[in-house]
A and B are shown apart, each in its own frame.
Chain A
């Protein structure tokens, strides 16, 4: 014969209710955070990775360039270029001489020096939401004079012309998104190009920033 079961008392019911309520409240708070966390992590990795890959390309261009063939530029209100500072300083655009017209062919002159064919232009363009910059990169052909492989005419005029032409390219040749700042400088001995990309957003919209710094000896 089955034993008669006792009902639950009011304190028991209240205790269980309170515990379940606390658990559910905690889950309401924690679960969205946990669900959002991988997305945030992925977003940060995407930001970091695209900047890292952009930096990889910049490093390549600087290595193949020459410290006598780089210029730093401001693009607002008008394009204006000058010789780069000795320490890495924030810049809106930069120009680096190149012997690579985009085909990857190793172009050498009769004396074994680079056959300079133009410049690569890097510049920052505010994105559509105004929260960060897109980093653009374009090749601009130019007549580069040189002596013993050292470019002699990469000056403010040539650089400004190249930057102006590059900025007219449509659609814009975006290299990477979500850049907060770009810094650039050249030290003379040894011939070293110092550069830095800050991945993230601007204006305090998102405080997460990651700095990438390179220090590339310009080989040519």
Chain B
């Protein structure tokens, strides 16, 4: 009995020790795993927070920039926009888009408080505006973007008698003549080739082509591999057309059929909805700046359309322009007016019923000189036929096709070198981020 009790006691204490060791081992193991898990989760959490903080910082800046841009757009749409703010949110950051001072029509420059730097002032010149955007994410530090905005400078058209964004096709021998006051200034430039399949036209100016120049200029040679001339880009043209449309719509609104009915004079800015077909009589536009025709402009027979608007008078035609017959399209000689066609080439069927395959075609009759200012087919071609002389400058978004008959000519009007296009947009002239 004695021996049995002793043996049982040893066994009991041995089993208890095994259980304790196992529990301690499990505890240590679990604690170690927990510690690792906490480290991993905490590390990931911290890293994520820091990455998010940087993202928020950029988000707030973008929001403030967007707010300033919004103020700029408001000002472009309404130059009389009153001082004040609109609110919104971008990237989760609340913004205020503010016009701090509208000095566009004020006769002098003025000081206005610098909202990003309290206690200081910003100088706002006449004809400018002070705008700012501020943004914050849930009350964090505000980011300011402030700027001086002014009307965007007008688009400058390339100088010279003929400019084409692709080819100039000299299809018949016709004079390309200088401005009588400026010797050999009738320059001819193509951003691709100048092709001369037949007899070459005599040119009183230098010729240039980015590709192959086959037309000898007044310097007795050709200039292949020249630098390209710059044309307004698609966005700029769209802005200029939109500006012309809005300004014209604020003036007299007419239907195409009304204008097509015969002799009449329209003053101020004019918006015409529909095709204008003038086959007799004289339609005159005067004392305005913009004529916008939402359709085609077709002049034939004895019809005449006179753009007698003041300097920089712009006539925009959304469709094709076809001018032939006795009268045709005319401006006042020596004024830098512009006729703009927004159409692409019509192909075989010209909406005006003429045979011209180009978006803008001029065909002056024999022994006449038609002052046309600058004519510009923005995305199409310009075609010159007929037996008379066109006085002005020809610009094309694609080709210029010279196919006049005997005695025909293009006479450069040096005044057209000053022709510009107003976009009606605003631009930053000074910019600060705080």
Residues of A within 8 A of B57 (CB): 53, 56
Residues of A within 8 A of B51 (CB): 45, 48-49
Residues of B within 8 A of A114 (CB): 429-431
Residues of B within 8 A of A2 (CB): 8
Q: Tell which of A5, A27, A38 touches B43, judged by Cβ atoms closer than 8 Å.
A: A38
Chain B interface category by residue count? 35 or more
Q: Tell which of B40, B123, B128 touches A38, judged by Cβ atoms closer than 8 Å.
A: B40
Residues of A within 8 A of B431 (CB): 63-64, 114, 219-220
Q: Is B428 an interface residue (CB 8 A)?
A: yes
* Contact call B42/A112, Cβ cutoff below 8 A: no
Cβ-closest chain B residue relative to A218: B431
**Chain A 73-106 against B: per-residue CB contact (8 Å), 1 yes, 0 no?**
0000000000000000000000000011000111
Q: Tell which of A44, A53, A220 touches B429, judged by Cβ atoms closer than 8 Å.
A: A220
* Contact call A38/B117, Cβ cutoff below 8 A: no
Query: Which of chain B's residues 389-433 have a Cβ closer than 8 Å to chain A?
Result: 428-433
Query: Which of chain B's residues 106-157 have a Cβ closer than 8 Å to chain A?
Result: 109, 114, 116-117, 120, 122-125, 128, 146-148, 150
A110–B150 CA distance with the chains assembled, in angstroms: 13
Nearest CB of A to B430, in Å:
5
Q: Is B15 an interface residue (CB 8 A)?
A: yes
Residues of A within 8 A of B58 (CB): 52, 56
Q: Tell which of B8, B53, B429 touches A113, judged by Cβ atoms closer than 8 Å.
A: B429
**Chain B 168-191 against A: per-residue CB contact (8 Å), 1 yes, 0 no?**
000000000000000000000000
Nearest CB of B to A137, in Å:
15
Cβ-closest chain B residue relative to A111: B125
A44–B57 CA distance with the chains assembled, in angstroms: 19
* Contact call A31/B124, Cβ cutoff below 8 A: no
A60–B124 CA distance with the chains assembled, in angstroms: 22
* Contact call B44/A38, Cβ cutoff below 8 A: yes
Q: Tell which of A27, A60, A105 touches B120, judged by Cβ atoms closer than 8 Å.
A: A105
Residues of B within 8 A of A220 (CB): 428-431
Query: Which of chain A's residues 97-133 have a Cβ closer than 8 Å to chain B?
Result: 99-100, 104-114
Query: Which of chain B's residues 65-118 have a Cβ closer than 8 Å to chain A?
Result: 109, 114, 116-117
Nearest CB of A to B70, in Å:
15
Residues of A within 8 A of B50 (CB): 45-46, 49
Residues of A within 8 A of B114 (CB): 105-106
Residues of A within 8 A of B15 (CB): 5
Query: Which of chain A's residues 35-54 have a Cβ closer than 8 Å to chain B?
Result: 35, 37-39, 41-42, 44-46, 48-49, 52-53
**Chain B 19-55 against A: per-residue CB contact (8 Å), 1 yes, 0 no?**
0000000000000100010011011101100110110
Cβ-closest chain A residue relative to B61: A56
A35–B34 CA distance with the chains assembled, in angstroms: 12
Q: Tell which of B46, B61, B116, B122 touches A104, judged by Cβ atoms closer than 8 Å.
A: B116
Residues of B within 8 A of A41 (CB): 43-44, 47
A112–B120 CA distance with the chains assembled, in angstroms: 16
Nearest CB of B to A183, in Å:
20
Cβ-closest chain B residue relative to A1: B8
Residues of B within 8 A of A104 (CB): 116-117, 432, 434
Nearest CB of A to B115, in Å:
10
* Contact call A42/B46, Cβ cutoff below 8 A: yes
* Contact call A106/B122, Cβ cutoff below 8 A: yes
A112–B103 CA distance with the chains assembled, in angstroms: 11
Residues of B within 8 A of A63 (CB): 431, 433
* Contact call B47/A106, Cβ cutoff below 8 A: no
Residues of A within 8 A of B1 (CB): none
* Contact call A45/B432, Cβ cutoff below 8 A: no
Q: Is A149 an interface residue (CB 8 A)?
A: yes
* Contact call B433/A60, Cβ cutoff below 8 A: yes
* Contact call B39/A106, Cβ cutoff below 8 A: no
Residues of B within 8 A of A99 (CB): 430, 432
Q: Is A10 an interface residue (CB 8 A)?
A: no
Q: Is A14 an interface residue (CB 8 A)?
A: no
Cβ-closest chain A residue relative to B145: A63
A35–B8 CA distance with the chains assembled, in angstroms: 47
Nearest CB of B to A114, in Å:
5
Residues of B within 8 A of A29 (CB): none
Interface residues, chain B, with chain A CB atoms under 8 Å away? 8, 11, 15, 32, 36, 39-40, 42-44, 46-47, 50-51, 53-54, 57-58, 61, 109, 114, 116-117, 120, 122-125, 128, 146-148, 150, 428-434
- Sample of 5 more A-B contacts, CB < 8 Å, known A106-B430, A149-B430, A220-B431: A2-B8, A27-B32, A35-B36, A35-B39, A112-B125
What are 13 sample pairs from A and B whose C-beta atoms fall under 8 A apart? A5-B15, A31-B32, A39-B43, A48-B51, A105-B114, A105-B117, A106-B116, A111-B125, A112-B128, A112-B150, A114-B429, A149-B429, A219-B428
Interface residues, chain A, with chain B CB atoms under 8 Å away? 2, 4-5, 27, 31, 34-35, 37-39, 41-42, 44-46, 48-49, 52-53, 56, 59-60, 63-64, 99-100, 104-114, 149, 219-220
The 4 closest A-B pairs by CB, nearest first: A38-B43, A219-B431, A45-B47, A106-B432
